[in-house]
Amino acid sequence: MPRFLGPSVRVPLAWLGALLAAGTAAQTPAPLEELPRMPSGVPDLTGVWQALGEAHWNIEPHAAMHGTVASLGAQNAVPPGLGVVEGGAIPYRPEAKAQRDANFANRGTLDPEIKCYRPGVPRATYMPYPFQIIQTEGDILIAYEYAGASRTIYMSNHVEAPVDSWMGWSNGRWEGDTLVVEVTGQNGQTWLDRAGNFGSANMRVVERYTPLGPNHLHYEALIEDPTVYTRPWKISLPLYRRIEPGARILEFKCPEFAEALLYDHLRKGASTETD
Amino acid sequence: MLNAKTKRAAATAAVAAAVTSAAAAAGADGRNAFGQPDLQGYWTNNTVVPFERPPELADKPFFTEEEAAEFTRRRLGPQETEPGTAEDVHYQLTDFGLDHSQNGVVPNLRTSLVVDPPNGRLPPLKPEAAEAARRRVEYQREHGFDSAQDRSLAERCIIWSHQIPIIPVGYNSNLQIYQARDYAVIQTEMMPDARIVPLDGRPPLPDAIRQWLGDSRGRYEGDALVIETTNFTGKSNIRGMPPGALLSRDARVTERFERVDDDRLLYRATVEDPFNWAVPWTIEYPLARIEGPMFEYACHEGNYGLANTLSGARAEERAAAEAARKGGGEND
């Protein structure tokens, strides 16, 4: 297997045509030789990637609407989005739908993102921050800019999640050029977006990362959780490589940005310090 | 519950396990498929060797094997306190948590992690830095419990002071190295920020971008990964620095992870910071391969300690105010 150029090389003109083609024929994998590959021959997904769009506001189709912070006016308003849920609506069980609606009504205080909590999967993928895939000969690391969250994708020695965690436990494998990752062991405290969509600790997510060319991935996540949904359902969206020179994730250590919110009632002299 | 003797026997076994559990995927030449020296995997730096050399060992940089064994035995033993004293009432980490003895330590004959200056101790702070540190300690004495922002970066779950350079901590003293074609990543278990190190020779970050863990650039030199880090905030410290002292914005940390064999690395880090010290200083210690995995350390999400600390301080203030009010009443 010849070694192909890494992702840090300049994009040859010939690739631009392939990118345009990929844009018009979504999910049609590009000719294999155009992908950066590992010495073993599998695609090398190493690089900085980001979702574009409005899924982080609400993964279901939604019109533009007021934000939750009136003083921020239009800056805090929710942009409209077509949604990324196949079929449009999440198939909630009735009681779960009620929970989602309650979450939505209180999203201005309950969204774990407000407190800088790790986002879980798949939400980490389409938050408005880049993430970086580090692909080694063995396991794969995904480091997310938001909150410094990360997860290891174990490519061998697959085990059941030993313990629940915010980012879950990821077992990965290759199906052709598609990286398939099964995520379990999430703790049920994360949301799927800013609109209160959610799963429980029983959630099982099967992600598929399929290269459409050197700079685009097709991302799918099949979500199963019989305690919350009536059937498995799927989201899909493209991921884009950040191609600007020197692209990287930077530090977004957000606990300090949530401190005033979380702890100011305990500040010396605070009016509500008896809380 | 295990008694102390059983615990120690288990600890000895753990030491052996820690340093012999080879899981290396490297080729016969110790290189990975990218041709890089293979450093990938899980490593521990757990140690009983103190950061600075104890004054009584001033001229003795190395123990003999026997002395090291005795020093390790004493350091791993149960905490000995006199019954009936305040010190005797403490959290027994060996029984209710994780301590060195349960994790196993990496054998090391050195008497300090600091290897330069040759006396094994940090150089003295320059006068201006010492004065700034003194003022910070004084402020902390008065205001250390006023607000979240007055607590340490570690309590606030922003960064811990052992992350760069990497300094052994009391427990979970483990790290993971990932190697991709153009990147290496260093991740410590306690505060698992993925420190992504570009290896492609790109220019450093603009001066305006300052990060808690700085900005790292790396390269391979022979069997070693060499990382240089700058762009610190000027608001963080390194575990082992004098109280109140902070690493300056001009600091530079140069680290070296050198492959010794499949199961051992040698870590060396030099800190240059002309605001604090007239000369650089260097630490060095071995890393031993361990079996993974490392678990998610969600410090901030589980941070009840910070709220409880502040809440406790407010309760003490209310109690003091109440006592003063009553005391004042009695005096009237």
Write out the two tokens for B314: 């407010």
Q: Are B259 and B271 in contact (CB under 8 A)?
A: no
Show residues of chain A in contact with B33, CB under 8 Å: 38-40, 137
Preceding amide of B37 cis, omega within 30: no
Tell me, what DSSP letter sits at residue B149? G
Answer yes or no: do B194 and A143 touch at CB < 8 A: yes
Rounded Cα gap, residues A72 and A76, in angstroms: 5
Residue of A nearest to B187 (CA): A150
Residue of B nearest to A162 (CA): B295
Of the listed ranges A154-158, A240-244, B14-18, the one predicted with least confidence: B14-18
Answer yes or no: do B33 and A40 touch at CB < 8 A: yes
Percent of chain A with pLDDT over 90: 84
Q: Nearest by CB to A250, which of B183, B187, B211?
A: B211
Mean pLDDT, chain A, whole residue set: 90
Statement: residue A7 has pLDDT above 50: no
Show residues of chain B in contact with A44, CB under 8 Å: 180-181
Per-residue model confidence as pLDDT tens digits over A140-159: 999 999 999 999 999 998 99
Any idea which residue has 């094997």 for tokens?
B65
pLDDT band of A274, cuts 50, 70, 90: very low
- Exposed / middle / buried, residue A122 (Cβ in 10 Å: 0-12, 13-18, 19+): buried
Cβ count within 10 A of residue B78: 16
Statement: residue A33 has pLDDT above 80: no
Q: Nearest by CB to A138, which of B40, B205, B318?
A: B40
Statement: residue B23 has pLDDT above 90: no
Measure in Å the smallest separation between the Cα of A126 and chain B Cα atoms: 19
* Predicted TM-score of the model (pTM): 0.88
**Residues 233-262 (A) with a CB less than 8 A from some CB of B:** 245-246, 248-251, 253, 255-256, 259, 262
Answer yes or no: do A150 and B145 touch at CB < 8 A: no
pLDDT band of B280, cuts 50, 70, 90: very high
Nearest to B103 by CA among B270, B307, B288, B253: B288
Q: ipTM greater than 0.85, yes or no?
A: yes
Q: Are B103 and B14 in contact (CB under 8 A)?
A: yes
Residue A6: its pLDDT value, please?
38
Statement: residue B16 has pLDDT above 70: no
Chains A & B: contacts with CB separation below 8 Å: 128
Answer yes or no: do A39 and B314 touch at CB < 8 A: no
Residue of B nearest to A264 (CA): B147
Residue B170: its pLDDT value, please?
80
pLDDT band of B12, cuts 50, 70, 90: very low
Measure in Å the smallest separation between the Cα of A103 and chain B Cα atoms: 19
Answer yes or no: do A143 and B32 touch at CB < 8 A: no
The β-bridge relationship of strands A204-213 and B224-230 is: unpaired
Q: Nearest by CB to A263, which of B293, B310, B318?
A: B310
Residue B110: its pLDDT value, please?
97
Show residues of chain A in contact with B317, CB under 8 Å: 268
**Residues 163-192 (A) with a CB less than 8 A from some CB of B:** 163, 165-167
pLDDT band of A16, cuts 50, 70, 90: very low
